[in-house]
Chain A
Amino acid sequence: MEPSLLPLPGPLPGPPGKLVVAHPERKVQRALHRLVSATSCPVQIATNSDELLAAVDRDTIAVVDTAIARSIPGMCRKPARAWIAVPGEGLTPTEGSVVDALLAAGWWHVIAHPMPILAEELLVTVQKLLRNDVFGIEKYIAWGAEVRTYTLGDARERDDAVATIAKDVIGVGLPDRIGSLVSVIADELIANALYIAPVDDQKRRFRAHEVRERGRMLHGRDVVTVRWATDARYLALEVRDRWGTLEPSLVAASLASGKASLPSAESGMGLALAYACCNQLVVDLQPNVMTEMVALLDVRYKPIELGRSASFHTFVTAKLGES
């Protein structure tokens, strides 16, 4: 019997909008062009800030060298689909002070790591933006890696969840250092989901000063889920609340300023501490519906082989996202 021949699919239509890559080095332009072209979205190259600003419109995702990014104050506030800052020179990570400056200036996407991490991180970031599909750690982890889930039934289960994750992380062969970092990140992100995310009718964070040892059943919007997975490249941790009340425009600046000062309020340093403990922190937000925090720890490289500062991304979507 002859096999039935199915017609090959034609080229997929490209997503709407375009990508603009702005970098002064021709070699890096080529690498970034090849990389983001994987999205099938049209790509335009710019060599300096003038060319960049002339090319960017509301539907553009701009991928910008850090030096160009810092050359014009307020660049990231100009209308565009997204502004993404990428390392400036070849294989050098972005300096910590530069990352801090970009975060303080309000950049929602700052990639600190050079190739090959840049490639993985940039492609995921661009695709999340193009597809408006932002939720889930699966986007960062190789297919096949098992995702483990914990759902907190009571606020007092935070400690158990953190301890279980740390134990499981070490149990899969990752070093104690990673287990320790994951403990801090999970604790801070779960605490934020339990006590900072809930707001009342006046938008007051009414649980911010709640006694943390008090039991509280978690139903409906109070449910907090924690998921993690590792593919031996990354360890990815995800914490979701069902409030979606994080203020995205304030997060980046708070990470930069929160590094060097002690918290005056419960929420003050927690996110900054989580950011300091990971290699990439991602905020995925559907306002008034869900906040998802994803922390990625690179387990391939020694810390000194990575950037001094972590990458940071904020995605906001109106699309319902339960993956």
Chain B
Amino acid sequence: MTAFRIGRVDVRVDVDPSGARAVLAGRLDDTGPLGELVAQLPPGDVTIDTSGILFVNSIGMREWVRLLRALRDRGQVTLEGLADVLMVHMNVLAECRGLARISSFHASYVCQACGYEGPMVIDAVAHEAELRELRPPKLPCSECGAPAELADFPERYLSIFR
């Protein structure tokens, strides 16, 4: 395992026979050329976990897309625990279609029963068919257990699956 920092993003890389796995946490902004991560990963398939990314601005988004483009040329890119902020911006940008496979992502959910509003993780593999039809799954509220719903228009999170 190696750990380093690019701008305000903490990066941890693990490599095993099935491929590389990078865990990113922090702020994706104009302070770090995220493309530097490519040189730290072996060629082949890679999984990127961005659960810990809390902020992304327009320049950070540009760096993110550049990173995905560079990695796509070397193997399958799988995004795991894709951060809410990244998911929303990736759905806005046409360039993001087909750049990577999304296995799970965070989204804002709201519980009508208790009023809780917060992020939840959606398993994009288990719910693949629904997501493709822009039907977000209901998930148990983390406070009261009642079915919680996506707190936003489905296309803001799910257009990328169509």
Which of the segments B17-25, B34-42, B53-61, B122-130 contacts the partner chain?
Answer: B53-61
Q: Mark A184-195, 1 if CB is under 8 A from B, else 0.
A: 100110010000
Q: Is B143 on the interface with A (CB-CB < 8 A)? A: no
B89 partner residues in chain A, CB cutoff 8 A? 273
Chain B: how many interface residues by the 8 Å CB criterion?
29
B29 partner residues in chain A, CB cutoff 8 A? 187
Is there an interface contact between B117 and A184, defined as CB atoms closer than 8 Å?
A: no
Q: Give the complex CA separation of A177 and B117 in angstroms.
A: 8
Which residues of chain A (42-81) have a CB below 8 Å from chain B? none
Q: Mark A269-294, 1 if CB is under 8 A from B, else 0.
A: 11011001000000000000000000
Is there an interface contact between A176 and B95, defined as CB atoms closer than 8 Å?
A: no
Partner of A303, one of B55, B62, B153: B153
Q: Is A323 on the interface with B (CB-CB < 8 A)? A: no
Q: Give the complex CA separation of A304 and B156 in angstroms.
A: 10
Is there an interface contact between B117 and A175, defined as CB atoms closer than 8 Å?
A: yes
Pair count A-B, CB < 8 A: 70
Is there an interface contact between B118 and A188, defined as CB atoms closer than 8 Å?
A: no
Q: Give the complex CA separation of A302 and B156 in angstroms.
A: 14
Interface range, A side: 20 to 34
A261 partner residues in chain B, CB cutoff 8 A? 93-95
B103 partner residues in chain A, CB cutoff 8 A? none
Given contacts A177-B151, A302-B151, contact A184 B85 (CB under 8 A): yes
Given contacts A213-B31, A263-B62, contact A304 B57 (CB under 8 A): no
In the complex, what's the smallest C-beta–C-beta distance from A282 to chain B, in angstroms? 20
Q: Give the complex CA separation of A272 and B62 in angstroms.
A: 14
Can you give 7 contacting A-B residue pairs, CB < 8 Å?
Answer: A175-B118, A176-B117, A184-B56, A260-B93, A261-B93, A268-B58, A270-B57
| 9 further A-B pairs in the complex, CB-CB below 8 A; given A260-B94, A266-B30, A303-B151 | A187-B55, A187-B57, A212-B30, A262-B95, A268-B58, A269-B61, A302-B110, A303-B153, A308-B153
Enumerate chain A interface residues (CB-CB to B < 8 A): 175-177, 180, 183-184, 187-188, 191, 212-213, 259-263, 266, 268-270, 272-273, 276, 302-304, 308
